[in-house]
Amino acid sequence: MPWQRRTYRGSDLTRALNIEDLRAIGRRRVPNFVFEYLEGGAEDEASLRHNRAALEALRFAPRTLVDTCAREQRIVLFGRESPSPLVIAPTGGNGVLYPRGDLALARAAAAAGIPFCLSTVSTLRLEQIAAEAGGRLWMQLYLMQERKLAEDIVRRAQAAGFEALVFTTDANVFGHREWDRRNYRAPGKPTLRNLIDAFRHPRWLYQVLLRSGAPRFENLVDFLPPGKASAIGGSTIIPQMFSASISWRDVAWLREIWRGKLLIKGVLTVADAEQAAALGCDGIVLTNHGGRQLDYCVAPIEVLPEIVAAVGQRLTVIIDSGFRRGSDVLKALALGAHAVMVARATLYGLTAGGEAGVRRALEILSTEIDRTLGHLGCCSVRELGPQLLRRG
């Protein structure tokens, strides 16, 4: 019998040891086209792969013989303490992965004491999340051709008490996710093969589609033509609504009408980071949208040091794209990021087991952060710095 390393193949969340285990559980629970929506990137998926490669290329040079009994991972984010340096990133269509998916993510974030960012294209209304989840809530904004839609979201998020508005700027033109195009025979209409696959996942079919009807883009229903709000295949309908005209003028406008914290999600250069600071933004998110937009894009971790050097004292710098381990998170903090957003890592948890799955994902990441801090000879994230890293 040749030597073999076995991975966990059951569905007990408590036995998932890492994010990859949750991914494997989640993958079995949903039809292939749903998992591909969660997982995939644009075009050749070079950005998607490179996000991981760039994080993996960074190696630690740890200190030793440091007493690390009193480890903690608290950070201060926009003047408030957060028990861990994580933020749940905005993702659309969460209700397709798991019933009431947005609420499951928001509640798990609230339980962990970290912010949850709701997407414009969520499948529950922002007011429902504010009423039923609590915790620190941020609202992501897509500025679409119909500008009234943005005004509506901003007004409602303000009234519902959201702490921050996160304006996503890297979706002026929608990324070409070729697999997504192949999964539908017409906009919103899955191919026969995918319909058959849906019937092979009866639990998903019942919970997500049949029990209370297909999830819809609830924040946008008033602006979409009747019958076009379904989140199943929404990725083949919504992109036409995106606007290539968005510009820094919109940021100035948002700064005027939004009273809370304002972040720009989509910054990858010093010039744009400077512009965000000059227009009075509070923070930026360095991202390539998890490899779902521009292909052959730099990984955010590669441009982090130069951007932190330029604006790190004036802006809160958050980073995402490719973070799957606590060690990844600590690499970004060592290079000066103030916090890390995670999307797929917590979506794998959601797909594996709803709120309990997201809680498990956050628990895994924060346990890994804690363990790695110990290995590095650090008691807190404030002790991290570029001296602990080498490029492999």
Ligand X SMILES: Cc1cc2nc3c(=O)[nH]c(=O)nc-3n(C[C@H](O)[C@H](O)[C@H](O)COP(=O)(O)O)c2cc1C
> Which residues of the shown chain bind ligand X in the complex (CB under 6 A)?
37-38, 89-92, 119, 121, 140, 168, 265, 287, 289-290, 292, 320-323, 342-345
User: Are the C-beta atoms of 318 and 337 separated by less than 8 Å?
Assistant: yes
In this structure, how many other beta carbons lie within 10 angstroms of the beta carbon of residue 271? 10
Find, among 251, 247, 93, 62, the residue nearest to 167 by Cα: 251
β 58-60/189-190 pair status: unpaired
Radius of gyration of the chain (CA): 20
Active-site choice (50, 176, 289, 338): 289
Give me the least distance between CB of 162 and ligand X, in Å please: 15
In this structure, how many other beta carbons lie within 10 angstroms of the beta carbon of residue 173? 12
Give me the least distance between CB of 121 and ligand X, in Å please: 5
CA angle 60/65/71 to nearest 5° reads 75
Residue nearest to ligand X (CB): 290
User: Are the C-beta atoms of 37 and 232 separated by less than 8 Å?
Assistant: no
Closer residue to ligand X, CB minimum distance, 97 or 389 = 97
Give me the least distance between CB of 213 and ligand X, in Å please: 21
User: Are the C-beta atoms of 135 and 116 separated by less than 8 Å?
Assistant: yes
Token pair 């984010």: residue: 77
Contacts of 39 (CB under 8 A, 6+ apart): 344
Closer residue to ligand X, CB minimum distance, 308 or 365 = 365
The answer to whether residue 50 is catalytic is no
CA distances from 137 to 43, 283, 350 (A): 32, 15, 18
Token pair for 142: 């897509």
Token pair for 283: 């923070």
Give me the least distance between CB of 37 and ligand X, in Å please: 6
Give me the least distance between CB of 38 and ligand X, in Å please: 5
Closer residue to ligand X, CB minimum distance, 116 or 323 = 323
Give me the least distance between CB of 340 and ligand X, in Å please: 9
> Could you give the residue numbers annotated as active site?
289
